[in-house]
């Protein structure tokens, strides 16, 4: 039976439109199962804590569990590799930090992915402050006293980090270079907290969100924050640049997905994350961690990463 040309064209157009219609319908029902949020650092790290705040908010808003999965190693590049290889269906997300993007791209020439090509930006979460803390055994109550102690005792101060090439390492190296002191870097694959509290290492440049409870309990001594200005959660702690003009370092956080993730899903996640960032309870939890929310569209976040 031969179809009239008009009917044939309508049928053909309908067949062509089916993939787009089904994709949109599928995206509108997203998420259809629990979503993994991959974090490239151990549990208790700043990115892990922030990821759990966001994951809970998304679970509440979208009616599916958003589950944080820790894949520590190589300053976040292992986690990024996991997400790059995942299906681009919105059910595997990456907790992005400055480490796994800017620093790793600058420091490693053998990465098996191209971040800008292989990860789709979804939403920027915010900027987090880091704080310079020392074990109570260090005889210094201020930044000038610490610098004087380190210069008088070259090589006797051990600086912990969450891994070579990450903010806890690079922020410390910047300080070491500008202060003209000699300190030994000790990288950890897991948490450095037990050794820092026990005095095996004496110094760390760590996220406020990870160290705040130990500072408030008097178990660690905060000497300075790394941001341009003092932080509301530690108003009595000066900024490094108050003693060392030109020093400034902070970390930013965001959410990404494998390249090719449907724009409808990206839009849904961006809308819900940005809405969560304006929720008073979420804002309060982030503020307590020293994180300032910085909502953005996917396009704005992509431009921010590139810059």
As a whole number of angstroms, the distance between CA 176 and CA 170 comes to 10
Could you tell me which residues are beta bridge partners of residue 184? 158
* Same domain, yes or no: 235 and 152: yes
- Tell me the CATH number at 41: 3.40.190.150
| Boundary of a domain, candidates 208, 242, 276 | 242
Give the global pTM.
0.76
Q: Are residues 237 and 186 in the same domain?
A: yes
Residue 156 contacts by C-beta under 8 Å, 6 or more apart in sequence? 150
Could you say which DSSP state residue 100 is in? I
Residue 184 located in a structural domain: yes
Least Cα distance to 249 among 307, 171, 179, 180 occurs for 171
- The answer to whether position 2 is within a domain reads no
Residues 295 and 275 placed together within one structural domain of the fold? yes
Domain that holds residue 100: 33-127+251-306
Q: For residue 20, what pLDDT band results from cuts at 50, 70 and 90? A: very low
Average pLDDT for residues 46-72, to the nearest whole number?
Answer: 95
- If asked whether residues 222 and 237 sit together in one domain, one would say yes
- Say yes or no: 205 and 257 in one domain: no
Task: Report the C-alpha gap between 139 and 105 in whole angstroms.
Answer: 38
The residue among 215, 242, 269 that closes a domain is 242
Question: Any idea what the CATH number is for the domain that residue 186 is in?
Answer: 3.40.190.10
SS3 252: strand
Pairing of strands 130-135, 158-161: unpaired
- Considering 71-75, 183-187, 228-232, the range whose residues carry the highest mean pLDDT is 183-187
Q: Which residues contact 16 (CB under 8 A, 6 or more apart)?
A: none
* Top-confidence residue, 21 or 7: 7
Question: Is 286 a domain residue?
Answer: yes
Q: Which single residue is written with the structure tokens 């030994």?
A: 184
Q: Among candidates 290, 286, 259, which has minimal Cα distance to 129?
A: 290
Q: Specify whether 52 is located in the same domain as 118.
A: yes
Considering the chain, what is the average pLDDT of its residues? 88
Q: How many domains does the chain have?
A: 2
Residue 25 lies in a domain: no
- Averaged pLDDT for residues 155-171: 88
In the beta sheet, which residues pair with residue 222? 133
Q: Does residue 28 lie in a domain region?
A: no
The residue from 189, 223, 242 where one domain ends is: 242
Same structural domain, 160 and 86:
no
Residue 89 lies in a domain: yes
């Amino acid at each position: 039976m031969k179809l009239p040309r008009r009917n044939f064209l309508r049928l053909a157009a309908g067949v062509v439109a089916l993939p787009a219609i089904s994709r949109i319908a599928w995206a509108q029902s997203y998420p259809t199962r629990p979503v993994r949020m991959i974090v490239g650092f151990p549990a208790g790290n700043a990115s892990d804590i922030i990821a759990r705040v966001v994951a809970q908010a998304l679970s509440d808003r979208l009616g599916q569990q958003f589950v944080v999965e820790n894949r520590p190693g190589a300053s976040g590049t292992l986690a990024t590799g996991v997400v790059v290889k995942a299906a681009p269906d919105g059910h595997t997300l990456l907790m992005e930090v400055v480490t796994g993007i800017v620093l790793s791209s600058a420091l490693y020439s053998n990465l098996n992915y191209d971040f800008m090509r292989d990860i789709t930006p979804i939403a920027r979460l915010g900027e987090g402050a880091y704080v310079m803390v020392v074990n109570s055994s260090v005889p210094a109550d201020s930044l000038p006293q610490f610098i004087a102690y380190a210069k008088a005792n070259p090589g006797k101060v051990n600086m912990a980090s969450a891994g070579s090439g990450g903010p806890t390492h690079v922020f410390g190296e910047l300080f070491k270079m500008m202060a003209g002191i000699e300190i030994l870097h000790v990288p950890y694959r897991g948490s450095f907290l037990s050794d820092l509290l026990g005095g095996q290492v004496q110094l760390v440049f760590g996220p406020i969100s990870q160290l705040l409870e130990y500072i408030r309990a008097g178990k660690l001594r905060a000497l300075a924050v790394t941001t341009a200005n003092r932080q509301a959660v530690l108003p009595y702690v000066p900024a490094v640049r108050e003693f060392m003009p030109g020093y400034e370092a902070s970390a930013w956080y965001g959410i990404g997905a494998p390249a090719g993730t449907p724009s409808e899903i990206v839009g849904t996640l961006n809308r819900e994350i940005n809405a969560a960032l304006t929720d008073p309870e979420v804002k309060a939890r982030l503020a307590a961690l020293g994180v300032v929310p910085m909502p953005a569209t996917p396009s704005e976040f992509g431009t921010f990463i590139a810059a």
